[in-house]
Structure 1
Amino acid sequence: MVHYNEFDQPIGDEVSGWTPRPRPERVTLNGRFCTIKPLSTEKHGADLIETLLQRSENSIWTYMAAGPFETIEDFIDFLCVQESSADPLHFTIIDHELGKAVGTFSLMHMTPEHGTIEVGWVIYSQLLKRTATATEAQYLLMKYALEDLGYRRYEWKCDALNEPSRRAARRLGFRFEGIFRNALIYKNRSRDTAWFALTDEDWPHQKQAFEKWLRPENFDQRGQQKEALERPNEL
């Protein structure tokens, strides 16, 4: 339904009773496959050295603004900077079965007055990619932002050439919104940015899809999914 003002101009829906959303805090989020904890170099540094440096290919850094790292010291310095940041606010993904930190991601570009926030700095080790743990981690952070904090818009942005990231966004229920050309310069190269978003209107359907997919009965004895994660337009 289109609304019109007194000048007969189309205007957006009224947002009644809106107040700025709380800023994310350094919380712990618990799931069946993983726990999300605020990034701590002291607590998680040794695990991340192993999983992100020693057991992962340097290709995981291709589309990141940082890395790859020549020395462990350089990587630790990077983690310390990430840990001290408030926006982006970085979290560590702890895999329950492995008992160690296997990746990091963050909440960033926070605009509490408008209720928009982005998930970014998604750094997955080879131990985390294409696992139930990775999917649950995204679900937990998304739920925290959209449901617990009440944000209206949850964004995913990536280098337009990063097809694995674009596939991941679509699988997780984000909707493609377009390409921002020449949006950034990083590592001495130009980046066109692909924009995706999931809104509070999308969330109830996507939450249902996540929780259906994450049920124990959806996994066989080897931990492999039986049914794929549904997208909102497939429900």
Structure 2
Amino acid sequence: MKIETEYNLYNQPISYQVDNWSTREYPAKVLLEGTYCLLEKLDSTKHFEDLYQVYGPESDPKNWTYLPMNAFGNKIEFAEYLESVSSSQDPFHYAIVDKTNGKALGTLALMRINTEQGSVEVGFVIYSDQLKKTRIATEAQYLLACYALDELGYRRYEWKCDALNEPSRKAALRLGFVFEGIFRNALVYKGRNRDTAWFSIIESEWPKIKTRMESWLSRDNFTIDGEQKKRLNEL
């Protein structure tokens, strides 16, 4: 990885100057709208029934292997959780809503929000089986990245996962995140060790990644039956 450098008066390599930097704002928008989906600030009442199908006992147990939590066994437990996270400012949670039917199909969040340094992570990416590998899933990631990097002006957008979570790692690379390395013995969760894989998009990379995502999301890239003509990795 090439690091952009300059030299000071002592002939020491230093990084480039960041001019006119100021503290960034916390996420606050309650609605982000795309072509296929909406990101709505998580509402413990409005999204409860839909998300209980995603988070509840009927969800696929395999979906929870690499998450720090497990499926909820009943509506009382889930209601308590949803009430807590819907009022959280960090993480700032969104429900992913299908525009065709208004159904919430999953969630994601902006988290580890560092307003002074302009760094933020996308996390709590929890999808229903109906949402996985769809245009909506990609557009949801696109909308959140646009909000963080374009509108709020953050400099660094992170993605982290268990280093053994191959689907998550592939998803990060597909979306344009750059693999940065692995933090060994980073966490203990569910009674086991987690080595954490780190990925990021920085502000200078985002315009090209954004254009590629917009090309893939274009209606022209899909057949009348919704099949993609070109894969995101091909653009």
After TM superposition, the score normalised by the length of structure 1 is 0.95
Q: Is residue 176 of structure 1 aligned with residue 163 of structure 2?
A: no
SS in 1 for 2:46: helix
Cα distance between partner residues in 1 of 2:200 and 2:92: 19
Cα distance between partner residues in 1 of 2:78 and 2:204: 39
Q: 2:57·2:72 contact (CA, 8 Å) conserved in 1?
A: no
Offset of 1:7 from its aligned partner?
Answer: 1.7
Q: 1:226 aligns with which of 216, 229, 234?
A: 229
Matches within 5 A, 1:95-110: 95-110=98-113
Q: 1:8 aligns with which of 4, 8, 11?
A: 11
Q: How many residues align?
A: 232
Cα distance between partner residues in 2 of 1:7 and 1:20: 30
Offset of 1:50 from its aligned partner?
Answer: 2.4
Cα distance between partner residues in 2 of 1:59 and 1:47: 19
- Unmatched segments (≥5 aa) in structure 2: none
Q: 2:96 aligns with which of 93, 97, 116?
A: 93
| Amino acid corresponding to residue 219 of structure 2 in structure 1 | P
Match of 1:17 in 2: 20
SS in 2 for 1:168: helix
**Can you list the C-alpha shifts for 1:181-200, whole angstroms capped at 9, x where unaligned?**
00011111110000000011
Q: 1:205 aligns with which of 185, 203, 208?
A: 208
After TM superposition, the score normalised by the length of structure 2 is 0.95
Matches within 5 A, 1:23-42: 23-42=26-45
| Amino acid corresponding to residue 147 of structure 1 in structure 2 | D
Q: 2:57·2:74 contact (CA, 8 Å) conserved in 1?
A: no
Q: 1:156 aligns with which of 155, 159, 163?
A: 159
Matched-pair identity in % = 51
Offset of 1:25 from its aligned partner?
Answer: 0.8
Q: 2:159·2:198 contact (CA, 8 Å) conserved in 1?
A: yes
Offset of 1:54 from its aligned partner?
Answer: 5.9
- Unmatched segments (≥5 aa) in structure 1: none
